[in-house]
Amino acid sequence: MLRVDNVSVAFDGCQALAGTRIEVAEGETLAVLGPSGSGKTTLLRVIAGLTRPDCGRVLLDGRDVTAVPAHARGIGLMFQDGVLFPHRDVAGNVEFGLRIAGVPREQRRRRVAEVLELVGLRGFEQRPVATLSGGEQQRVALSRALAPAPRALLLDEPLGSLDGPLRARLLDDLAEVFEAIGLTAVHVTHDVGEAFALGHRVAVMLEGRVVQCAPPDELWTRPRDEWTARFLGMTNVCELDGRRVVVRPEAVRLRRGDDVTVLSVERRGAVVHVRVRGDDGDEFEAVTTELDHPRAGGRVTIDIDPAGVVELEERPSPG
Amino acid sequence: MDRNGASVRLALGAAVALPGAFLGLFFAYPLGSILARGLTGDGSVELRPGVLWFSVWQAGASTALTLALGLPLAWVVARFDFPGRALVRALVVVPFVLPTVVVATAFLTLLPEGQQRGILPILAAHVFFNVAIVVRIVGGYWARIHPRLWEAAATLGAGPASRLRTVTLPVLAPALAAAAALVFLFSFTSFGVVLILGGPTRSTLETEIYYQAARMFDLRAAAVLSLVQLGCVGAIVGVAGRLDRCVAGARMVAPESDVLVRAQGRQRVVVAGILGAAAVGLGAPLAALVERSLSAPGGYGLTFYRALGEETPALLVVPWRAALNSLAFAAVATGMALVVGGIVAAAVARSRATWLDQFAMLPLGASAVMLGYGFVIAFDDPPLDLRSSPLLVPVAQALVAVPFVVRILTSALRSIDERLRDAAAVLGASRARVIREIDLPLVLRSFGLAAGFAFAISLGDFGATVFVARSDWPTVPVAIFRFLGRPGAENAGEAAALSVVLMTMTMAAMLAADRLGGGRRGL
């Protein structure tokens, strides 16, 4: 439904996008995951029509829209930290796109109430935007983008400026809203958890290129190269029979024994990350949900489940 | 799409042509005439010695005094929360927009007989005018410095004195330098104050141009002086512009609520003392002026105000006609300045060329007197014999006001987050619609401010107007100057009364502009 075909963009000699390709199906949410500076935001700006690519095409429903300016594309964009219009109240922000499109007043009012309801801000119409909390501002930004019923919605780190429980709650809400209206969306983030939570598929970006694009489970079980594996949080990269492999941490099993030394134990929510070092100096990370996990400084034995060993490709050195 | 782009470019071209033609005809052409007059012709020019030196050192001394006296007030306004803080911030600006002739008259009435003219009254008047610059620029910058900076220094062992030396002053340095450069510029080009308070022996480049051109009719000498003035001012504007960008580039934004504290203990005494001193320093001259205008020969009364409606040997028309002239001229001048300045600001804000910034600042430095003098020599002969046209007055006033309009609107336009325009575009707004929906509403407030400034400057302009105003069409500042030039308590009283009238009109204009712009934001 939405296709970005071989797009390149350079700013002042710096290559932001280098032959980027992505494809999004109707009703699908594609999460674009990458470190800062990987070209994610530029990709969104190209799709939205705010940045003209140096070469390549953007196709919407098979139609080439590369030359169509932003205001005629009908694609919604939700900015990082909202970017609400400071001179308009909540309703004035949300109805903006409808007003531009010439929708009559009464219809606008109904639609504004509808989308505010959808994001859980019923009755916020008359509030000045300066009085809203960070989370509320993001919700208003979301409803402003949704109100004109765009063909597709682009989200640029929408949770970037939030933290803690607020972030988690808005994440849930976003997933729910997308599901409810069957939206086609491209969601840009540098947070692995966010990408996995929202994306039907996740496209991993590095230096202006899509390195790998797959559903979350597949991405986790088969990271293509070392960089991707490490970016997803896997640290057990080693040589095995002359091949470069990564061992997923859940495939490293701990049991009583005296083969390796426990370096550190760290609880992250429900799981506990245990770092061990063998007598040959190799380090491994394991995860366990056992409450009776080993302590730092102790000795244990590890088993490796062969199903969790993934062979890595040599990544072609970036241009 | 290309046709759209072409038509946008065409519209832009047409929009740029209008201010271009205006500035070309009424700014570049007169300036060129001065250049031609100054660089050609024969015979040596005899200049009074010491004029350049006096211009420089009085400006330097004014700057040092203004900083020394303005900084405590800037500190109080930037860091302390007290009742009426917003009012204080607003009142401090009042002297800055007052006409120079009014301030000069006020100091004449305030100072004791025999000490009314000389260097001290000049310095005092310059401080009175420019304290607002220090409080606004330095204070505004000070208020944005996050208190954590001091807290960090304190935890690292720096005491109050050491914090002032190692943190506050270095951080404030760009703002201090920018404010100093502006105060220096305004003191260097100060005309009405020096002309009225300087007495016959004190002359700066600015008053000397007037003296040579209007009293000695030595146009060649005036042109040479103008060139010297232009060179000096160009250098100051260049430095000021560079320093100004340093200030704009700094970002340590902290919300005001984090910075402001309530004064406690001994601080309360200090804060109250500074505020009290400021009130006396800024209020006394104006109070003296009002008192003088009301002190008729037989006790207090409105005698001098009533006299404004009667014929006087000082003017060709009854004085209240001058007030009507001033209002009409200022209204026309404001319109011109807003159109020309608005278009220039739009162009400046969109482009990244810094020379455009500087160019727009130039009329500010070219000084009102030089503009007025340029008009005299440029529009004296056919085909451009406009000397007798009353329209020259608002044109000259508009030119004096344009740099202020450009500065106010440019910074307002630049402060609009580019992503707001993107957000509007993504929601379907075309380029023209973005300007209407985003740019215009967001600069509306500044537009009111710019209009108020332009009106106040036009009302109060003396340097340019004194050259081009016809004797039968005087403005209020010109009329006040005529009254001051004649002896007797009667004339002094009418000058004071007329000054109070002009002060009232100026303040009403600023207040109206503030309402006009501020009302819709609800802030």
Please report the domains of chain A, with CATH numbers, ordered by start residue: 2-221 (3.40.50.300), 234-311 (2.40.50.140)
In chain B, domain spans: 1-40+302-523, 51-299
Q: Considering only B126-140, B142-156, B200-214, B235-249, which range has the smallest mean pLDDT?
A: B235-249
How high is the pLDDT of residue A205?
94
Does the CB of A146 have a partner CB in chain B at under 8 Å?
no
Angstrom distance (rounded) from CA B448 to CA B338 = 10
B438 with A77: Cβ contact below 8 A: no
pLDDT digits (tens, 9 = 90+) for B81-110: 888 888 888 788 888 888 888 899 899 888
A71 with B433: Cβ contact below 8 A: yes
Q: Collapsing DSSP states into helix, strand and coil, what is residue B264?
A: coil
H or E stretch at A167: helix A164-181
- Strands A271-278 and A283-288, sheet pairing: antiparallel
- Cα of A128 to nearest chain B Cα, Å: 10
Does the CB of A165 have a partner CB in chain B at under 8 Å?
no
Tokens of A101: 């499109």
This prediction has a pTM of 0.76
Does the CB of B64 have a partner CB in chain A at under 8 Å?
no
Q: What φ, ψ does residue B58 adopt, rounded to 5°? A: -65, -35
CATH class of the domain defined by B51-299: mainly alpha
A85 with B522: Cβ contact below 8 A: no
pLDDT digits (tens, 9 = 90+) for A295-312: 888 899 999 898 889 888
For the cut 70, the answer to whether the pLDDT of residue B212 exceeds it is yes
Tokens of B71: 């900084």
- Cα of B5 to nearest chain A Cα, Å: 11
For the cut 80, the answer to whether the pLDDT of residue B255 exceeds it is no
- Cα of B212 to nearest chain A Cα, Å: 53
B427 with A100: Cβ contact below 8 A: yes
Does the CB of B256 have a partner CB in chain A at under 8 Å?
no
pLDDT digits (tens, 9 = 90+) for B346-357: 887 777 666 666
Say how many CB pairs under 8 Å bridge A and B: 68
Percent of chain B with pLDDT strictly greater than 70: 88
Collect all residues of chain B within an 8 Å Cβ-Cβ radius of residue A77: 422-423, 426
pLDDT digits (tens, 9 = 90+) for B130-174: 999 999 888 888 887 777 777 777 777 777 788 888 778 888 888
Cis geometry, peptide bond prior to residue B383 (ω within 30 degrees of 0): yes
- Closest A-chain CA to B441: A87
- Closest A-chain CA to B420: A83
pLDDT digits (tens, 9 = 90+) for A196-255: 988 999 999 999 999 999 999 999 999 999 899 999 988 888 888 888 899 999 899 888
CATH class of the domain defined by B1-40+302-523: mainly alpha
Does the CB of B443 have a partner CB in chain A at under 8 Å?
no
Burial level of B518, CB count in 10 A (0-12/13-18/19+)? middle
A77 with B422: Cβ contact below 8 A: yes
A96 with B422: Cβ contact below 8 A: no
How high is the pLDDT of residue B1?
40
* Cβ-nearest to A70 among B420, B425, B438: B425
How high is the pLDDT of residue A210?
93
Single out the residue of B168, B143, B135 nearest to residue B66, CA to CA.
B135
- Cα of A58 to nearest chain B Cα, Å: 16
A30 in Cβ contact with A203 (< 8 Å): yes
Q: How many residues in total does chain A contain?
A: 319
- Closest B-chain CA to A102: B428
A77 with B424: Cβ contact below 8 A: no
Q: How many helices (H) and strands (E) does chain A have?
A: 9, 17
pLDDT digits (tens, 9 = 90+) for B31-85: 888 888 877 766 667 777 788 899 999 999 999 999 999 999 999 988 888 888 8
A144 with B427: Cβ contact below 8 A: yes
Say whether B51-299 and B1-40+302-523 share the same fold.
yes
- Closest B-chain CA to A94: B427
Does the CB of A71 have a partner CB in chain B at under 8 Å?
yes
Please, where are the H alpha helices in A49-154? 90-94, 96-100, 105-118, 134-146
First to last CA, chain B: 40
